[in-house]
Structure 1
Amino acid sequence: MSKALFCPTCHKVVLATDENFPFCSDRCRLLDLGKWASGGYKVSTPIQDPDLLEELSRSKRDNPKHEDED
């Protein structure tokens, strides 16, 4: 028995054996890619890596934005 789930774009049932799995078609796959490319999807989990947090902190210190510059 094949696994099934819903297409993330149009929500049709898709079998794991389908050619475009997990999408139902190439069209749905391209629509999903377009959402990623245009910023429609965002990863909203806070940064937990201490090294990356330190790097971001240093970057903000070294390159402060000037609000009065337009």
Structure 2
Amino acid sequence: MTTKVKCPTCSKNVIWSSDSIYRPFCSKRCQLIDLGQWANEENRLATETDITDQTSQDIDIEEIEAMLAEQQEDFFKS
């Protein structure tokens, strides 16, 4: 069975085998484009700080309290 994956850069189908020397990329060009994106920090792994910052921006305590106040009283008792 031949496994195919999509090139992360151009989405071209790539056969996943030891013969595909640039896998998961389809070519050296796509591999270098991806490397350049990492070098320019266009791609990066999220850190715990990034996740915490995003969460604190997304959560508004007053909104949560308002939503909880709208719930039926027995909502939390079960």
Unaligned runs of 5+ in 2: 50-78
1:12 aligns with 2:12: yes
TM-score normalized with structure 2 length: 0.55
Q: Secondary structure at the match of 1:9?
A: coil
The alpha-carbon deviation at position 33 of structure 1 amounts to 0.3
The alpha-carbon deviation at position 22 of structure 1 amounts to 0.4
User: Please, what is the CA RMSD of the aligned residues?
Assistant: 1.3
Relative to its length, the structure with more helix (as a share) is 2
> Aligned partner of 2:10: which letter?
C
Runs (4 or more) in structure 1 with deviation over 4 Å come to: none
Count of residues paired in the alignment: 47
Q: Secondary structure at the match of 1:20?
A: coil
TM-score normalized with structure 1 length: 0.60
The alpha-carbon deviation at position 2 of structure 1 amounts to 2.0
Unaligned runs of 5+ in 1: 48-70
Structure number with larger C-alpha Rg: 2
Identity of paired residues, percent?
A: 43
Instruction: Write out aligned runs for 1:47-62 (5 A).
Output: none
The alpha-carbon deviation at position 30 of structure 1 amounts to 0.3
Instruction: Write out aligned runs for 1:1-70 (5 A).
Output: 1-17=1-17, 18-46=20-48
